[in-house]
Amino acid sequence: MFKRVKQSHNHNLLLFQGILNIFGALMAVVQWHEFRNVPLNLTAAATVGAGIFACYVALSKPALQDRFASFVFLSAVVPVYGLLWAMNGFLMAQGKFWEPFQPHELSSLTIAILAPPYRSIGVLAILLFPILAGLQFFSFTPEQLALIPSSPLFAPIAFGVFALVLYFYRLQGLKIAGVAAEVRMMKKLTRSILAIKDLANSPIQALIIDAELLQRKHPEAAAIAERIEISATKLGKLNHVLDSYGRESKHHNGHVSFDSKATLELKTPTSFPNPS
């Protein structure tokens, strides 16, 4: 049950990531429609392509385990790093005063919200934004540094740390949700076992009584009656095991009176033929 919930969760994450890739790259192209920077063109196209790939994987709905979904997610976000690097290089080439690395801050928070729950890839995807911001900052010349505010790396690093906290908090929430789903499943299983045991009681008792009547009225059928009685006794032992499991389960709420048919969601009344 929880496995299916996690796979659906991974599908949604990849779909949103793909949509953000496509729209983010298109917005960059629209905002800088007059640029003549080839790397920015190429990285925007690669970002759109990665977004389409992520959407395709999500919409095809394979069995997306955490590790596979995380690698697809990382492959979709890698072109985003290149796009941000190219955008900063393009803005720096304008020779005007500007504030660098602002998209890195929002992107790290976005990754914290959307990264699939494979921890190492999620952490790497978040940390790459402040790391790449630092690498690009140290590649600036003194003339270029004069065109940006002082200490521009503080915000990307702070946002990266906050994004990590947010990401781990989200993973903890997923873990708690998984435990809750497992508890609900075990409660339903326990009640189903008790319901099956309850429905089986009457037929077993009827078999034992009928075997005794058959042996008394038709002594020549004593062997048949004995086999029926042995089978009914075995079913009774199995019924006792189910009863013990249900009552000793920590998920059993202690209520022994309930509608067995409703618990098993039977559409029609369950009846057992009476032997003539």
Per-residue pLDDT tens over the stretch 5-52: 566 778 888 888 899 888 888 887 776 665 566 778 888 889 999 999
- Tell me: do 135 and 228 sit in the same domain: no
- Tell me: do 249 and 136 sit in the same domain: no
- Tell me: do 144 and 210 sit in the same domain: no
- Tell me: do 127 and 256 sit in the same domain: no
pLDDT by residue (tens digit) across 201-212? 556 666 667 667
Residue 137 placed within a domain: yes
pLDDT confidence band for 244 (50 / 70 / 90): low
- Tell me: do 35 and 126 sit in the same domain: yes
- Tell me: do 104 and 226 sit in the same domain: no
What's residue 166's pLDDT?
93
Residue 164 placed within a domain: no
Residue 270 placed within a domain: no
What's residue 273's pLDDT?
47
- Tell me: do 210 and 146 sit in the same domain: no
Q: How many domains does the chain have?
A: 2
Average pLDDT value over all residues in the chain: 76
Residue 209 placed within a domain: yes
- Tell me: do 61 and 125 sit in the same domain: yes
pLDDT by residue (tens digit) across 66-88? 788 888 888 899 999 998 998 88
DSSP string of the chain, one letter each residue? -HHHHHHHHHHHHHHHHHHHHHHHHHHHHHHTTT---HHHHHHHHHHHHHHHHHHHHHHH-----HHHHHHHHHHHHHHHHHHHHHHHHHHHTTTS---TTHHHHHHHHHHHHH--S-HHHHHHHHHHHHHHHHHHHHTS-HHHHTTS-S-TTHHHHHHHHHHHHHHHHHHHHHHHHHHHHHHHHHHHHHHHHHHHHHHHHHHHHHHHHHHHHHHHH-GGGHHHHHHHHHHHHHHHHHHHHHHHHHHH-TT--S-----HHHHTT-SS----PPP-
- Tell me: do 147 and 204 sit in the same domain: no
